[in-house]
Structure 1
């Protein structure tokens, strides 16, 4: 037998062995971090592993995959561990983009960040205008019961508001741009956070009964106009502060108070 024939026989034998091993392979190791968006949303919503498993069972996922309940529970736990490790990076999104430990495609990174900083309108409506302090955080139990948002999710959202506020509080420049640069949020979400930061800083009383019909979007629109026209940054480019209202302008507004307290004058000006 020639050397060429012997080499061909060896290659054929090795290929056959590889195929045999492939039939027994039940674990695959790669360097790309797998993200299940549905499980991620369950984690963000504050569900425990057992609750998340039950929700996934009801969705009919076992019929789609052919897996058993034990595999589903293991898969859910594995995803939850990954999200918990990623959370410290999500607190400061640029770190998530720069790190090399988790191999996550850019579009997935954007999804992780955007969803992590998303919030429930029912929740933000309850805390809008309040001081982002420990005192307000103690009320989250009641807010959770009132809004139906899980306590864990309430805490995440509140901590996000507070974190963004602290980072941009003393920054010069446009508020929306500062939020985008430091937290890599979309333009819409950055503008929403600008409204939250602005109201938290100015302490507008948005919880009054006569204002309850107003939605968060109503207040966000008001905040955008106030930032563009009433703040120090709008009045004096040198000040460049989008969070602080122009005190002289507010003082001038007090002179208009008589129009509100004097009914005859108010009716006259309305005409």
Structure 2
């Protein structure tokens, strides 16, 4: 994955190419830039209906052209009086081979593909990345044709794995809504932590408290007894408390071992 900062994004490759060309005309070292296509798709454009007559005609034409080229090559080394027979023979043999190569596969397909098409790989977005002088690049590409967005997100570099509640609140206050894309833990009250995400003791305690509150809502109002879900939440909180106490005790013991004034038995 290429590294750099996204300085501009475009809907089509031609606009991204024009942006890099604009940088080159301004004297910017374009070897530090990269064009990255995102969200790749395979597009198959249907060009028309395929029939036996069209297959025969196209096969004959392609074979005849190929045979004529081979015949012209041999004419260069042949006697002048034999040039025409060699050329006509090459066209005839090429047409015959082309007909066989085109019609036989079509007949063997059994009509499963009665259309002609052309395939190509396209991207939904083309990002222009720069590794140096990002501010200068953005100023040069300001108002570039076809630009759809500007962002500070680095490409190929890991971002933060845990979002604090204060950071989420700041995003909501600044923009009114969070940025598009996967949410991070702490951005929603009912969100569960993802696998591999490390939580601080404060975040874990807040998560367990919220989980207990949700599970406590399952309490039967008629019986006044706590549901098994609530009991499970209490067990999780108790286990968290015991884990914290054990960690503190272990830390205290390690400090006592390092203290030379603590008597040893």
On whether the aligned pair clears a TM of 0.5, the verdict is no
Point out the structure with the larger helix share.
1
Point out the structure with the larger strand share.
2
Instruction: Tell me the TM-score normalised to structure 1 length.
Output: 0.22
Relative contact order, CA 8 A, sep 6+: which one is greater?
A: 2
Q: If you compute each CA radius of gyration, which structure gives the higher value, 1 or 2? A: 2
Instruction: Tell me the TM-score normalised to structure 2 length.
Output: 0.22
